[in-house]
Structure 1
Amino acid sequence: MLSQEKINRINELSKRAKTTGLTKKEEKEQQILRQEYIKVFRNSFKNQLHSVTVVDENGNDVTPDALKASKENKNNKGMH
């Protein structure tokens, strides 16, 4: 999870970019913070998906094979 301090800084830079503009150094900082935010978001989203099981109306597990493989791959990595 991204710290509240970093989220606040992202918001501050975004607001300033829309109003007064950013220096080159601030633009670089904004880019780095956004990349970090996206990485954290994607990891969180993947973890949520790994907890999903799709079940049809008959109670059969119809979870897509790609998701099953991703879950299995994650589980195998955690064992090493």
Structure 2
Amino acid sequence: MDNTKIDRINALAHKQKSVGLTEEEKIEQAALRKEYIESIRESLRANLNNISIQDADGSITDLGEKFGKKNE
């Protein structure tokens, strides 16, 4: 998600608090928020898929391969 969309989300939030939104703006706001949340989830999944932990016996477990969808 680029900064122009984030700025638009913020502008709609400020307008909602001050004067309210039209139906079209409410639909746009919902779509932008949905897209923003999905981009956050994708980023979090990517970060979690790159985590490896070292067990007490010295072996390394790649959590992305064990639990995530690293192969996709």
Q: TM-score per shorter chain, which class?
A: 0.7 to 0.9
| Larger strand proportion of the pair | 2
| Larger helix proportion of the pair | 1
Q: Which residue of 2 aligns with 1:68?
A: 66
Q: Which residue of 2 aligns with 1:15?
A: 14
Deviation (angstroms), 1:68: 1.4
Q: Which residue of 2 aligns with 1:5?
A: 4
Q: Which residue of 2 aligns with 1:29?
A: 28
Counterparts of 2:51 and 2:43, CA distance in 1: 13
Compute the TM-score of the two structures, normalised by the length of structure 1.
0.75
Runs (5+) with no aligned partner, structure 2: none
Compute the TM-score of the two structures, normalised by the length of structure 2.
0.82
Percentage of pairs with the same residue: 36
**1:20-72 CA distance string (max 9 Å, x none):** 111111000000000000111100000000111122455343566x86131xx
Counterparts of 2:65 and 2:19, CA distance in 1: 45
- 19 and 57 in structure 1: CA distance in 2 versus 1, 3 angstrom threshold: farther
